[in-house]
């Protein structure tokens, strides 16, 4: 995170708890290990976007797609998101 944000050096994709959760929820990975998740995300996200991608998923995970109560109806990704791990009310 520091290399990307402070020095604009895209050395990889930051995988914190938000990125880990959202990468799974969005169907981008089945991995649970942050290093393996990063290795799966790097080929599908252009290198020039690695810094933004990490920040965007973290922001989205904090503001819209919370762990316990995601705001799926208010999410702009709702149409394409498989919502993996989200309890759907009956």
Sign of CA dihedral 47, 4, 75, 86: positive
Q: CATH number of the domain at 6, please.
A: 1.10.1670.10
Summarize pLDDT for 68-77 with one digit per residue, the tens. 999 999 999 9
Is 24 among the domain residues?
yes
Residue 90 has what pLDDT?
45
Is 16 among the domain residues?
yes
- Give the mean pLDDT of 55-83: 94
Is 47 among the domain residues?
yes
Question: By C-alpha distance, which of 67, 53, 52, 89 is closest to 18?
Answer: 67
pLDDT over threshold 70, residue 4: no
Kindly state the percentage of the chain with pLDDT values over 90. Answer: 80
What is the domain extent for residue 38?
2-74
Across the chain, mean pLDDT equals 89
Summarize pLDDT for 28-55 with one digit per residue, the tens. 999 999 999 999 999 999 999 999 999 9
């Amino acid at each position: 995170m520091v290399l990307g944000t402070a020095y604009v050096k895209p050395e990889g994709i930051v995988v914190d708890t938000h990125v880990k959760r959202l990468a799974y929820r969005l169907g981008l990975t089945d991995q649970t290990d942050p290093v393996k998740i990063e290795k799966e995300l790097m080929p599908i996200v252009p290198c020039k976007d690695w810094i933004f991608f990490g920040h965007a998923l973290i922001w989205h995970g904090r503001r819209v797609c919370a762990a316990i109560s995601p705001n799926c109806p208010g999410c702009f990704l709702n149409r394409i998101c498989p919502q993996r791990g989200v309890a759907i009310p009956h």
